């Protein structure tokens, strides 16, 4: 491919695809088009299963885990495709956060906490 620049190779600048990035291997259905809905579902579930900053009746870790597990089980029984999309989003999030720095983790956690607070405000 010929380019105008002697230093450019014709490819757009950016991150090259990593061949070692693992793909979610356990899907049983086509989740194309359901990822946005799955991320929103996970955000709402996270807001319901975590405590707000000044909640008068805080959830225990056991109650939070039970709510989370029950919601996933109910989703699997009700909508298998959305459940697979949720599992893929969880997998993608784990892969994305693997090996990040503490500063990046804090930044990500603060962004997530703000998002959860906004969702909690709409759930009330």
What does the pLDDT profile of the chain (124 residues) look like in tens digits?
555 556 555 555 555 555 566 666 666 677 778 889 999 999 999 998 888 766 778 888 999 999 999 999 999 999 999 999 999 899 889 988 888 999 999 999 999 989 998 998 888 7
**Rounded distance between C-alpha atoms, residue 93 and residue 102, angstroms:** 16
Q: Is residue 20 part of a domain?
A: no
| Cβ contact 49:64 at 8 Å | yes
Per the structure, the complete domain to which residue 102 belongs is given by 35-123
Q: Residue 121 has what pLDDT? A: 87
**Rounded distance between C-alpha atoms, residue 31 and residue 87, angstroms:** 10
Q: Is residue 96 part of a domain?
A: yes
Q: Is residue 63 part of a domain?
A: yes
Domain total in the chain: 1
The tokens of 108 are what?
Answer: 């990500």
* Three-state secondary-structure class, residue 89: helix
**Rounded distance between C-alpha atoms, residue 57 and residue 68, angstroms:** 18
Q: Residue 33 has what pLDDT? A: 82
Residue 98, φ and ψ in degrees, nearest 5: -70, 120
Q: Is residue 93 part of a domain?
A: yes
Q: Is residue 5 part of a domain?
A: no
The whole model's pTM is what?
0.72
């Amino acid at each position: 491919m010929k380019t105008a620049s002697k230093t450019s190779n014709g490819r757009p600048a950016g991150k090259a695809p990593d061949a070692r990035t693992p793909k979610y291997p356990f899907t049983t259905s086509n989740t194309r088009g359901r990822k946005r809905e799955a991320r929103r579902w996970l955000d709402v579930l996270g807001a319901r299963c975590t405590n707000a900053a000044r909640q008068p009746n805080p959830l225990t870790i056991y109650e939070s885990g039970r709510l989370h597990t029950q919601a996933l089980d109910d989703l699997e029984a009700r909508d298998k495709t959305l459940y697979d999309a949720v599992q893929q989003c969880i997998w993608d999030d784990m892969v994305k956060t693997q090996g990040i720095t503490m500063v990046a983790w804090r930044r990500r956690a603060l962004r997530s906490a703000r998002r959860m607070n906004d969702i909690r405000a709409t759930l009330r």
